[in-house]
Amino acid sequence: MSAAGAWAISESCACASAVGINGPDLARQAQVIHRNGPHVEAALPVRTIAAEPEPLAVDIGRMALVIIDMQRDFLEPGGFGAALGNDISRLKSAVGPCADVLAAARRAGILIIHTREGHRADLTDAPPIKVERGDPAMRIGALGPMGRILVRGEPGHDIIPELYPVAGEPVIDKPGKGAFYQTDLELMLKNRGIETLLVCGVTTEVCVNTTVREANDRGFRCVVLSDCCASYFPEFHDMGLKMIKAQGGIFGSVSASGAAIAALSAASS
């Protein structure tokens, strides 16, 4: 089949799905041109994910999993989060569901991106108002139990072993709370033709919420997995999710690991 013919079939399938002819759980059989190169590959199916404020029909082939800031400094004893007096067990509750979704995403073969918040060793990319917050002994760049706090390359800056990236999974090192700020995340997603983001990570009200808002402004649809996110403050977690799905999904949708795994597993079967 010619490239033009392949695109024509792909487009017709997409249009039919949009008006409900194919149904949300019917796999597309067309061959499509991969957006990253000239080779041809089979499209993944469209699946429905249970979510609030309403279920979503998503093209699994245009979906990516983004796992935000599951770093040792935030989640492990002796890290930055614990040093600030936070109960890290509240963040650890998200690790198991995240690991399950990550495994399902790997089986489905979708794009997986991890992020880490941190700064250059000389802190030239860290605004003074960020560095100067709090106790000087616990500030960004100070020496902590796992190396200098939130400095790239230090042990505490790295991702926890349970969710560690494998070869081929990009890691975005971000200097801010949002994953799009001063990074090439948007370019990576658009190069792959991604439309929908499954979002996991910590903390719900800070880096997750900031990233979802950035993504929404850039035209990406976000599905935040509630049990794959967490906060040191349970009320902030709850309110952060409510803000995302309010007013018909002003910033995105909220779902859970089980619904995402069901969609990914069906796509990979």
Q: Which residues are catalytic?
A: 69, 174, 207
- The identity of residue 174, as a single letter, is K
Query: What is the distance between the terminal CA atoms of the chain, rounded to a whole angstrom?
Result: 26
Q: Which 3-state string (H, E, C) describes 10-61?
A: HHHHHHHHHCCCCCCCCCCCCEEECCCCCCEEECCCEEEECCECCCEEEEHH
Query: For residue 95, how far is the Cα from the chain centroid?
Result: 14
d(CA 73, CA 65): 22
Q: Which residue has the tokens 């989640």?
A: 75
Q: Residue 46: which of 70, 18, 66 has the closest Cα?
A: 18
* CA neighbours closer than 13 Å in the CB half-sphere of residue 94: 32
Give DSSP secondary structure letters for 160-198: PGGG---TT--EEEESSSSSSTTSSHHHHHHHTT--EEE
Helices (H) and strands (E) counted in the chain, each on its own, are: 10, 12
* Enclosing H/E stretch for 229: strand 221-230
| Cα distances (Å, whole numbers) of residue 154 to 74, 147, 158, 266 | 13, 5, 7, 39
